[in-house]
Amino acid sequence: MDKFRTRLQVEGLDQRWLPSAVATGSTAAVATALMSSRTSISLGYAWPTSSETPASVTLTARVGGGAVATSALAAATPVGPTPTGSVKFYYDGAVVGTATLDGSGTARLTRPGPTPGRHPVMAEYQGDVNYAASTSGQAAISLNQTTDAVVDSTDWGYGDGNVGGTTAPTGGVASTAAAPPPAPPTSDTLTWDNFTKLAAPPADKPYAAFIGAKNDLKFSRQVTTTTIQDETYLSTAEARVKIKGDPAFKAVFNKAGSFIVRGKETDSLLAHEKLHLAIAEYVATKAAANFPETIGAGSGSVQGTKDQSQDAAALNKARAAALKDFNTKIATFRATWDKLNQQDQDAYDAETKHGVVADAQDDWAANYQAKADVILKAGGWTK
């Protein structure tokens, strides 16, 4: 057979064949192939859980051989040796390295993870003694990062009555609550002046006093999306959502949700209310200690067009899925925090009879952290 001849096959062109001249006296036609190479490129990345962005990107080029037909009616069949030689890789239009083909005709180059923005990638096979050079189509990898602030808050409140006085009258109208102070009081600084004063308690809270507060979780949320668009313009995105920096956990007194009925402002009742807030403050510190690394993940694929209009669609699809996963994990933790705080507060009121049992009140005042820990550990918070 004649020696293989080669030609450059640009991405998407089909294989060709040309028959040779028929030798004198020959009973069969001998086919001579136009050998060509075909180079394709694909992208992958390594994205460790601990890394905010992909740590590395791997560019993979695959080079295929030519084809030959033995007659004008026969289908072309791949023949010949596996392509050898090297592939030159382009990233953002510049050569970033060269890699040698392995025994399967594949070359790989690993480079650092992408910076924000879109990065076109291409591979160029250099050819060998059997195959012509060829160039892949263009793929791309994109990195997008956004950060926003989130405040997640839930209300809680506890009412107490008949401490150091007679039964509070029912009915009455609540006075208009004053605007909360710029810095809400803590359990150490809380006084009756921080409470809304009522002539009588509201019908739905028949207590001499009621303390309201919020369990606040504040954090910055970072959304990182990596999108790969292949040579066919299929965009595939992966998104991760994680907390940026240290989240803040706090139990915050809420004046608008707290009241004291006039004439019931005893020191013993105030001490009871202050310990409600102190327990919540302590549980908030335990929430911080037991907060897991929370990462939401999602993905999305969209078939695009040459104008890259679908990159954003794939990104948004992945982002929405990751945020849903992240928010579900946050909500699960918040539910545990609120439940354990509620259990601690209920145990405090049950043992002290809302502060009426003095010995029990003193015991809780001296040991509330140890008592809270028993409930927290039973609920899975061991730190």
Condensed to tens digits (0 to 9), the pLDDT of residues 27-52 reads 333 334 446 878 898 999 999 888 88
Single pTM value for the model: 0.75
Closest C-alpha among 86, 245, 73, 251 to residue 155: 251
Structure token digits, residue 197: 């004063």
Contact yes or no for 254/219 (Cβ under 8 A): no
Q: Which helix (DSSP H) or strand (DSSP E) does residue 369 occupy?
A: helix 358-378
User: What DSSP assignment string belongs to 81-102?
Assistant: PPP-SEEEEEETTEEEEEEE--
Contacts with 353 (C-beta within 8 Å, 6 or more apart), sequence order: 360
What pLDDT is attached to residue 302?
Answer: 87
Q: In the chain, what is the straight-line distance between the N-terminal and C-terminal CA atoms, in Å?
A: 77
Please name the amino acid found at residue 149: A
Closest C-alpha among 108, 262, 259, 271 to residue 187: 271
CA distances (Å), origin 17, targets 26, 68, 70, 113: 20, 6, 9, 43
The Cα 308–Cα 237 span in angstroms is 13
CATH class held by domain 5-137 = mainly beta
Spell out a b/e string for 64-84, using b for 16 or more CB atoms within 10 Å of the CB, else e: bbbbbbbeeeeeeeeeeebbb
The Cα 120–Cα 312 span in angstroms is 16
What pLDDT is attached to residue 96?
Answer: 95
The Cα 186–Cα 36 span in angstroms is 78
Q: How far is C-alpha 65 from the geometric centre of its chain's CA atoms?
A: 42
What pLDDT is attached to residue 303?
Answer: 84
Q: Where are the beta strands (DSSP E) in 283-323?
A: 295-303
What pLDDT is attached to residue 75?
Answer: 42
Contact yes or no for 256/212 (Cβ under 8 A): yes
Q: What is the pLDDT along the chain (383 residues), one digit of tens a residue?
A: 333 322 222 233 333 322 333 233 333 333 344 468 788 989 999 998 888 899 999 999 999 875 543 444 444 345 578 899 999 999 999 999 999 999 999 999 999 999 999 999 999 999 998 888 999 999 999 999 999 888 888 877 777 764 433 333 333 333 444 554 568 999 999 999 999 999 999 999 899 999 988 999 999 999 999 999 888 888 899 999 999 888 999 999 998 889 999 999 999 999 999 999 999 999 999 999 999 888 889 888 888 777 666 668 888 899 999 999 999 999 999 999 999 999 999 999 999 999 899 999 999 999 999 999 999 999 999 99
The Cα 34–Cα 17 span in angstroms is 6
Show me where the domains of the chain are located: 5-137, 147-378
